[in-house]
Amino acid sequence: MKYLRSIIKISALAFFLITLASCSDDVPTSYTSEYVVEGYLFVDQPITNIVVTRSLPTTDTFKFENSLVKDATVEITGDGETFTLVYRSTPKGGEYYLPDTTKLVKEKTTYQIRVTAKDGKVMTGKTTTPELFNWIPGREPRTLIQYPKDTTNLLADTSLTFEWTKTGRQEEYLLKLQALDTLEYGKYLDPPTPESNRRIERFFDQPDSPQYTETTQYVYWTSNSAPVVWNAFQWFGKYEVSILAADDNFIKWSKSRWIGNQYDPNLGSISGGVGVFASAAIVTQQMFLLKNVK
């Protein structure tokens, strides 16, 4: 009890000193904004989803739309051509893209990005695209799979393992699993039914976690084959599975975002600012996960 009273006295004294100091010192308001560039090129796809933002002071209420930089000059050069991108609003905020959708990103090609802000600030980056790859015939993900009825014994089914062709010196891949419709279920059946989708309750789920409602999951992988892991599924119904053969910029930036909570300049790839300019080749397959019980 005496120890507790001592703690209370010390805390009260500390609070008094802090209050006294705050009365005499001005609140620090100086802040230097940083430009952030986040751009990904996907082989054999149009150039899109290049996002330029500016960091905001912590004294302001954060709104993503307030951080968007809509008036920058964004140029991408590759294979002897230079493309000037155009800004457009999107449901998630805004992006720079190339209106000519016939110009596709090429494999094994070096692309450079140059972003010039209205205040003259210049940010640059460079990426070399990986080569194209594909599913191994007969070993692609199945389009229809049945969730086990015995949820206490979720053993891996080796017959569901899928494989893809190796790409050069690629050592790490990103596996992406995305739930495409968390509400509808029966309308995808043959014949269709009015049955709605439902969530799969997993023993490690934390409803209070921000990740609980995420519909997309990523995992690192170091081989060109992967099993179906039942605990990866959060809902039944329609999914898309993707394999990304990503360049080093992509892998490093992903690790900085998903593993740490502070920016590490060694994991970024933008000169003159913060962020990433990266590329990947990608293969996808849609699948449908049947419920274990109606």
Query: What is the three-class DSSP state of 24?
Result: helix
Tell me, yes or no, whether 258 lies in a domain. no
Q: Give the model's pLDDT for residue 255.
A: 80
Residues of the chain whose pLDDT is less than 70? 1-31, 59-62, 258-263, 294
Residue 164 and residue 90 share a domain: no
How many domains are there within the chain?
2
Secondary structure of the chain: what % helix, strand, coil (to 5)? 20, 35, 45
Answer yes or no: are the C-beta atoms of 241 and 141 closer than 8 Å. yes
Q: Which residue segment(s) compose the domain that 101 sits in? A: 35-128
Residue 236 and residue 105 share a domain: no
Tokens of 236: 């039944």
Q: Give the model's pLDDT for residue 27.
A: 52
DSSP structure class, residue 177: E
Residue 211 and residue 105 share a domain: no
Residue 240 and residue 163 share a domain: yes
Q: What is the pLDDT of residues 92-124, one digit of tens each?
A: 789 999 999 999 999 999 999 999 999 999 999
